[in-house]
């Protein structure tokens, strides 16, 4: 019997990536459902923690898409580190706040792509406070999950998890196009044009409801209406 699991750090085919994304979304849905049950029964701290875990699972979607573009050993190692890094996966939780403040373009939403932003550290800290007792300050002061986490926060973070889990299925065909069109341009000056070409193709094949015009407006800083 193997006592230690070895974490995979190699390349992913479009089919393998599609399976990983589907599993991440399904697990996020499970965690959201469990969080809802806990919140309904007054367990707001635990509900908050599970909602944050759901957001981290959803962060794996983009992480897997990036892994699928990598072939070099060092690039793959870094991509898998990001996949397994909690703060790198919770960046998007601030999206509803940014949208409420009027953000509608890629530049206005750039904070939601920064794994080193203060908001990622904050959410990771709240997750710890939701699970564990701890001791803070010079006094000292003890913290206990039920008191440390505001019940209103549980409602808000659960709503965010639900919002982030509204995307449709990511198919193998979509990831084949992603690797073919975007892959050669990843992290290069030509990547924006490649992203727009990718969106044009997935829209024409019925794999996305976002039109190329909407994507171009978003990327190039032309405000667009946010869909419900």
pLDDT tens digits along 71-113: 999 999 999 999 999 877 877 777 766 666 665 666 666 666 6
Mean pLDDT of 54-58: 93
**Separation of alpha carbons 57 and 90, rounded Å:** 8
Confidence band (pLDDT; 50, 70, 90) for 224? very low
Q: Tell me the percentage of the chain whose pLDDT exceeds 90.
A: 61
Q: How many CA atoms lie within 13 A of 131 on its CB side?
A: 10
- What region does 18 belong to: left with phi over 0, alpha with psi -120 to 50, or beta? alpha
What DSSP string runs through the chain?
Answer: ---SPPPP-S---HHHHHHHHHHHHHHHHHHHHHHHHHHHTT-HHHHHHHHHHHHHHHHHHHHHHHHTT--SHHHHHHHHHHHT-HHHHSGGGGHHHHHHTT--STTTTGGGG-TTSHHHHHHHHHHHHHH--EEETTTTEEE-HHHHS-HHHHHHHHHHHHHHT------HHHHHHIIIIIGGGTTSTTHHHHHHHHHHHHHHTTS-SS-HHHHHHHHHT---PPP-
- pLDDT tops 80 at residue 18: yes
- pLDDT tops 70 at residue 15: yes
Confidence band (pLDDT; 50, 70, 90) for 227? very low
Give the pLDDT score at 29.
96
- pLDDT tops 80 at residue 1: no
Question: Within 10 Å of residue 224's Cβ, how many Cβ atoms?
Answer: 15
Cis before 140? omega within 30: yes
Q: 82 with 63: CB under 8 angstroms?
A: yes
Give the pLDDT score at 173.
97
Average pLDDT over the chain reads: 87
**Separation of alpha carbons 223 and 108, rounded Å:** 10
Most confident range (mean pLDDT) of 2-6, 140-144, 163-167, 170-174 is: 170-174
Confidence band (pLDDT; 50, 70, 90) for 176? very high
Residue from 30, 33, 47, 57 nearest 153 by CA: 47
**pTM for the full model?**
0.85
Residue scoring higher pLDDT (24 or 164): 24
**Separation of alpha carbons 143 and 133, rounded Å:** 5
Most confident range (mean pLDDT) of 101-110, 134-143, 163-172, 202-211 is: 202-211
């Amino acid at each position: 019997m193997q006592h230690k699991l070895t974490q995979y750090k190699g390349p992913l085919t479009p089919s393998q990536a599609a399976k990983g994304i589907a599993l991440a979304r399904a697990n996020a849905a499970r965690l959201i459902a469990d969080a809802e049950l806990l919140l309904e029964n007054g367990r707001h701290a635990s509900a908050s923690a599970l909602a944050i875990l759901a957001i981290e699972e959803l962060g794996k979607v983009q992480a897997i898409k990036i892994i699928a573009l990598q072939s070099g050993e060092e690039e793959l190692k870094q991509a898998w580190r990001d996949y397994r890094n909690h703060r790198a996966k919770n960046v998007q939780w601030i999206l509803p706040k940014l949208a409420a403040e009027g953000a509608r373009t890629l530049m206005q939403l750039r904070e939601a792509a920064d794994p080193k932003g203060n908001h990622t550290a904050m959410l990771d800290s709240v997750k710890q406070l939701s699970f564990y007792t701890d001791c803070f300050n010079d006094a000292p002061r003890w913290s206990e999950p039920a008191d440390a986490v505001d019940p209103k926060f549980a409602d808000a973070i659960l709503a965010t998890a639900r919002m982030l889990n509204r995307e449709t299925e990511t198919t193998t065909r979509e990831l084949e196009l992603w690797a073919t069109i975007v892959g050669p341009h990843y992290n290069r000056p030509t990547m924006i044009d490649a992203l727009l070409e990718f969106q044009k193709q997935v829209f024409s094949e019925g794999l996305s409801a976002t039109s190329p015009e909407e994507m171009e407006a978003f990327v190039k800083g032309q405000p667009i209406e946010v869909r419900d």
